[in-house]
Chain A
Amino acid sequence: MFRDDRYGCVTIQEVLQELFRTQKFKTKYPWRTKYKSKIKALIKSKVETGDFNLYLEAIRNIIVTGKINKRTKRFFSLSYIDQQIAACSIAHGFKLTTVDDDLADFIRQEFSGKTISPLGIVNDWIKKGLIKWDDDLQSILEDWDKCNEHPQPKKEVKRFKKITGFKYTGP
């Protein structure tokens, strides 16, 4: 899905490296090997086009100086990779998908950036006819639940039921 533009997914090199260099992921996510060839990170020159560096510098300064998250009332604390992801999504107008509320809060609060839930992405693929929902794919929803994934937005759950006719068994 990262190699086929129709799926509309991108990621950065740092995320890819994290996924494949962590030893523990080998057993926890056996599918990672299967999908390795399908995941492709944006090349550096592509990421760093436009205003990427401007956004990254702004984000770094804001984080270091200290900005309060209005929801948690705590200072935002983003890692170097979080900052790269945030800069990439805002600079290139990508919607961000993340399980980290603090990262999502940051791009929404500071940059009016847009986020999308994993189920929202799946729904879009189904809607575009890129995937056909079946029992095999349905089992992924149960995996999400087992892996303690975030509850998906009600709006997307409703949309999922409507477009697939399947019962929603995920979080």
Chain B
Amino acid sequence: MEWLGEKIKDLIKENNSSIVKLAKKTGVSRQTVNDWIKGQIPKGNHLINLCKIFNVNPDFFFSKDFDNSISVPVHRTRMTAKVTPAMQKDALEMVRKYEVLFKNDANSSILPVVRVHHRTDVVAKKIATELRKRAGIGQDLPPDYEHTFSLLAYLGIKVIFRHFPEKIKAYAFYTKIHGHRIVFVNNSTNIIDLIFPVLHEAVHAIRDEIQTNDGFDAEEEDFCDKVANYIQFPDEYVHMVYDFINGLSAGAQVNKLKIYGKTYSHALFGIVKQIKTIDPDFNLKIGGADSNFKKGFHTIGDILFIGDDPRDYVAKISALSPLFTSIILNQIDSITISKLGEMLGIESVLDARAVKDELIKLKSMAA
């Protein structure tokens, strides 16, 4: 969106007026009117005067085209939901609330980008192994949600936890705002369902290749899925689980998988899918069992807001999303309480004032 100062010139002409007359009417100098025409946004009360003099609305002076400061947000949904224009619109509206925050934060850091010639399985595995290593995810085990978010921080990704409007049927999505890599995470997502989509979006972020109009590239999606799968389920772990359950009855297999899932924070569906890649004949049905299993886990929102304590909440977001928290801290003195509540998505849960006080304390401690 930009200020269209040259429209003032057209209005002057249409109204048989002049810059001098307009300057007089608005109570400013001729130079000021010239500055407006050249692109300087007038002060609010001068803008109102211009609207009244020319009988137009403020919208008239601003382009409705948004620049490329925000990339297409949602291009993939949870389960079978379709990406709809309404979903895109709501997501963009939600993302725009953060535009000024990231605009205010000059992004000059060097960030890793992964370029590949062929999006093969071997390459996906290689990238996953490297990412696991760099994030310090050891022992060939699935990462828990804390490890997952530390990987995102390592990759320079800012994570924003918030409740998504009903129309945005996604667990998480990646977008870029003024060059910052952002992954939005839906607070109502079960922690078990969260790790894979967050990893998927993280791979999108480092691929940095969303170029099509609707942001959807099936091959790229498939590639991001593969990398995310290999990060979450390294071969060694899949083999270990498979060796352990192979030959057991279906019921025993489900029970053992539940133990693994509980210990290593993953859904049954995910591991079964991976086992099928090493044994195509493996045909365990886990639909209902998986749904029941997930009921035993919290949503990420539950984890963030347990106890409804602003201090705990601030400690949690600064641990899980250090980069986003750091940007908030840098600007905390100039963020209004209401805006802070809006950006953190805490309006109806926590007192934004108390959260702001905690963030200020955190900032002074860091200093």
Query: Chain A interface (Cβ within 8 Å of chain B)?
Result: 18, 21-25, 28, 51, 54-55, 57-67, 69, 72, 74-82, 90, 98-103, 109-112, 148
Contacts and interface: CB of A to CB of B under 8 A. Distances in A.
A168 B97 CA distance: 40
Given A58-B48, A80-B342, A109 B100 contact: no
B338 A81 contact: yes
Nearest to B100: A77
B3 A69 contact: no
A100 B351 contact: no
A18 B350 CA distance: 11
Given A54-B58, A58-B51, A65-B1, A74 B336 contact: no
B354 interface: yes
Contact of A57 (B45, B57, B336): B57
Given A54-B48, A55-B48, A78-B336, 13 more contacts: A22-B351, A23-B349, A24-B308, A57-B59, A65-B2, A66-B103, A72-B333, A75-B103, A77-B336, A78-B338, A79-B339, A102-B339, A148-B357
B349 A58 contact: no
Nearest to B333: A72
Interface in B302-359: 308, 310, 331, 333-339, 341-342, 347-351, 353-354, 357
Contacts of A74: 104, 331, 334
Interface of B: 1-3, 41, 43-45, 47-48, 51, 57-59, 61-62, 96-97, 99-101, 103-104, 308, 310, 331, 333-339, 341-342, 347-351, 353-354, 357
A21 B348 contact: yes
B96 A64 contact: yes
A109 B99 CA distance: 21
Question: SS class of chain A's interface: helix, strand, loop or mixed?
Answer: helix
B218 to A, nearest CB: 34
A23 B351 CA distance: 8
A59 B48 CA distance: 10
Contacts, number: 116
A58 B43 CA distance: 10
B44 A111 contact: yes
Contacts of B57: 54, 57
List the 7 shortest-distance A-B pairs measured between CB atoms, nearest first: A110-B44, A100-B336, A77-B100, A58-B58, A79-B339, A79-B338, A79-B342
Nearest to A56: B58
24 contacts: A18-B347, A21-B348, A22-B351, A24-B354, A51-B48, A60-B58, A61-B1, A61-B47, A61-B59, A61-B61, A61-B62, A63-B100, A64-B96, A65-B1, A65-B62, A72-B334, A74-B104, A74-B331, A77-B331, A79-B338, A79-B342, A81-B338, A99-B353, A111-B45
A62 B336 contact: no
Nearest to B340: A79
Nearest to A100: B336
A86 to B, nearest CB: 9
Contacts of B347: 18, 22
B354 A102 contact: no
Contact of B104 (A62, A77, A82, A99): A77
Interface-central residue, B57, B99, B336, by most chain A CB under 10 Å: B336
A82 B339 contact: yes
A94 to B, nearest CB: 15
Nearest to A72: B334
B125 to A, nearest CB: 43
Nearest to A110: B44
Contacts of A21: 348
B100 A75 contact: yes
Nearest to B331: A74
Given A24-B308, A54-B58, A77-B336, A64 B99 contact: yes
Contacts of B97: 79
A44 B48 CA distance: 22
A77 B101 CA distance: 7
A69 to B, nearest CB: 6
Nearest to B61: A61
Given A23-B349, A61-B58, A112-B45, A66 B100 contact: yes
Nearest to B342: A79
A121 to B, nearest CB: 19
Contacts of B354: 24, 28
Nearest to A27: B308
A15 to B, nearest CB: 9
